[in-house]
Structure 1
């Protein structure tokens, strides 16, 4: 089962790591491995969400999502998009950016380093909004109760996430951005650059969230119409074309999944800039990670264990928040990429272990309780 589901991912991993070694030795090998783990950890909740929707689709549309969808996810968001970010930030064409990265790495590194404040501000704001919207939402299941309970109460204030993000952006623009100018010695002041890039990151987050909400509403409308059509067919005794209706519903599901996948993968792409500016290593690492996310989605659907490790989503979002802070700090200060990668891994591992302990505690409580009390124990957890 595991080999059948993850076979292609294992093969891509082996090829990607070998290519990384030949490209840049053991350093590149390690960076690509960390990027792969980072992408998987940040996108685990993506796989969970995808699996919850994918299981509603028929076999044909599942194959569409896992074939056409993987082309969009891997080659579109993970491979092409980093090049576009570098090209736009450095003020050059995508082809020129790729050619420069392959032929004149020193010049490319200089351009990317100069553009890093804009990249960091853009990505930091995008990631910070994802984290804040998650942490301010009142959830039935809480991981770090002492943090999440009071923040959930604060989350009832409208637009709190956007206000906090804008305050962080203003403070960063007039502190680390100005210091970056002083530290750079002769470079242009980055205050305006950081402000504009940060606002662009906030707008991008809102657009992506709006599109996701749009397709989600379309899906709900389609399901409601399908339910009404079924009731009408039952009253009149007429037969209806289930295939066509299922096709429309599945099509909206597919569109919704692609928008969700793009929004989730965006944080992995942006977060990768906190680890490396090398687009080759970035493409290899994120490509490997994207393959595992797709395989994990299929595995979760087939195994039906979506809710087994309930704190993993929390750990992934705390990792996103940590990356947001790191990106803003790197406008002025350099943080070693190994440290950046390990922070996310540690948070995911911690949330996984917390989930395992919770499951064991629930199992022990249910075993100790009487047969009639097991349901109550499960519902209270």
Structure 2
């Protein structure tokens, strides 16, 4: 089951890593591997969310999402989007950006270095909003309760995430951006960081708004179908059954999934700039990671189960928050790519181990007939 589901991901991994080592050497091999792990780590919750929604769709629309969707996710977001970011930030055409990367890597590196403050501010703000919206939300299950409980109470304040992000952006513009690292040494990039950071915030708000719009449309369609099923069941004197969504409901579901998938893709693509500016290494690593995320989505759907390890989503979002901070810091200071890549892996590993301990505690509690609220207490323990 596992090998059949992940066979394409395994094949792409072997081919991609072999090509990276053959074309650019062992450094490229290591960076591509770290990027793939980073993408898997950051997108695990994406796979879980996708699986939860995808199982509601009929076989046709599931196939559409897993075929057309993978083309958009891998080739659109992981291959084209990094080139577009570099082209816009460096003020060159996409074709010229690719040609420079191939024919004049030294000049390309200078352009990327000069564009890095803008890239880091845009990506840092986008990632920070994802993290803040997660950490300020009151959740039944908490990983680090001593942090998450007080932040969840603060999160009841309207627009707190946006206000916090704007404060962070202002502080960054007045501190690290005042002596930003560029190819010629250091320069004042305060205006650039402010403009790019605001652009990152606007992009997040637009993507989030579109996702909410499609989710509302989905809820309306689902409600209409449920009423129709109930009426038909009563007329035929049959029990109401759960039917996979098709037609307009499935179409809106597909649109919602694509917008949601794009929003999760941003963090992986933007986070990759904290590790490397090499667009081909980036495309290989993120493409490999995206294949595993899609395979994991299929596996979860086919197994009929969602995430048993409830803290992994928390670990992924803490990794997003850490990457946001790292990106903003790298406007002025250089941070080792290895350290940046390992941050997400360590946080995911820690959340996984915590999930395993929680599951064992729940099994032990079930053996002695726990009180009704005990599961909540165990799941909220740190």
TM-score bracket for the superposition, by shorter chain length: over 0.9
- Residues 110-129 of structure 1: pairs in structure 2 closer than 5 A: 110-129=110-129
Counting only pairs closer than 5 Å after superposition, residues 227-306 of structure 1 correspond to structure 2 as 227-234=226-233, 246-306=246-306
Change (3 A) 1:243 1:354: closer
Find the aligned partners of 1:185 and 1:379 in 2 and give their Cα distance. Answer: 56
* 1:83 counterpart = 2:89: no
Q: Once the 2 structures are TM-superposed, how far is the Cα of residue 24 of structure 1 from its aligned partner?
A: 1.5
- Report the TM-score when normalising by structure 1: 0.94
Secondary structure in 2 matching 1:43: helix
Question: Which residue pairs with 1:202 in the alignment?
Answer: 201
Report the Cα distance in structure 1 between the residues aligned to 2:27 and 2:126, rounded to whole angstroms.
29
Partner residue in 2 for 1:134: 134
Listed one character per residue, the Cα deviations across residues 155-191 of structure 1 (whole Å, up to 9, x for unaligned) are: 001101111110110111111111227x876765311
CA distance in 2, matches of 1:277, 1:345: 20
TM alignment of 1:341-360, pairs within 5 A: 341-360=341-360
Shift of 1:246: 2.4
Give the unaligned 5+ runs of structure 2: none
CA distance in 2, matches of 1:53, 1:2: 21
Call closer, same or farther: CA 1:336–1:228 in 2, change over 3 Å: same
How far is the alpha carbon of 1:60 from its aligned partner?
Answer: 1.1
Matched, 1:217 2:216: yes
Instruction: Give unmatched runs, 5+ long, in structure 1.
Output: none
CA distance in 2, matches of 1:106, 1:320: 30
Alpha carbons 1:174, 1:191 under 8 Å: kept: yes
Matches within 5 A, 1:139-218: 139-180=139-180, 189-218=188-217
| Alpha-carbon shift at residue 378 of structure 1 (Å) | 3.8
CA distance in 2, matches of 1:9, 1:226: 36
Q: How far, CA to CA, are the matches of 1:376 and 1:305 in structure 2?
A: 23
Deviation at 1:230, TM superposition (A): 2.6
Distance across 2 between alignment mates of 1:277 and 1:186: 18
Q: Is the 8 A contact 1:366 1:377 kept in 2?
A: no
> Which residue of structure 1 aligns with residue 61 of structure 2?
61
Superposition RMSD in Å: 2.0
Native 8 Å contact 2:38 2:268 kept in 1:
yes
Distance in 2 (alpha carbons) for counterparts of 1:184 and 1:178: 15
Distance in 2, Cα, partners of 1:245 & 1:179 = 54
Provide the rounded CA distance (Å) in 2 between the counterparts of 1:210 and 1:348: 28
Distance 1:167 1:245 in 2: 43
Q: Quick one: structure 1 residues 302 and 237, their matched pair in 2 at CA, closer, same or farther if it must change by over 3 Å? A: closer
- Deviation of the 1:213 alpha carbon: 0.1
Which residue matches 2:17? 17
Deviations 1:188-238 (A, max 9, x none): 531100000000000000000000000000000101111222344456669
Give the conservation status (yes or no) of the 8 Å contact 1:366–1:374. no
Q: Distance in 2 between matches of 1:245 and 1:39?
A: 30
Quote the offset at 1:303 in angstroms: 1.8
Q: TM-score, normalised by structure 2?
A: 0.94
Question: Is the Cα contact below 8 Å between 2:123 and 2:270 reproduced in 1?
Answer: yes
SS at match of 1:75: helix
Q: 1 CA distance for matches of 2:252 and 2:208?
A: 16
- Over 3 Å counting, the alpha-carbon distance change for 1:374 and 1:57 in structure 2 is farther
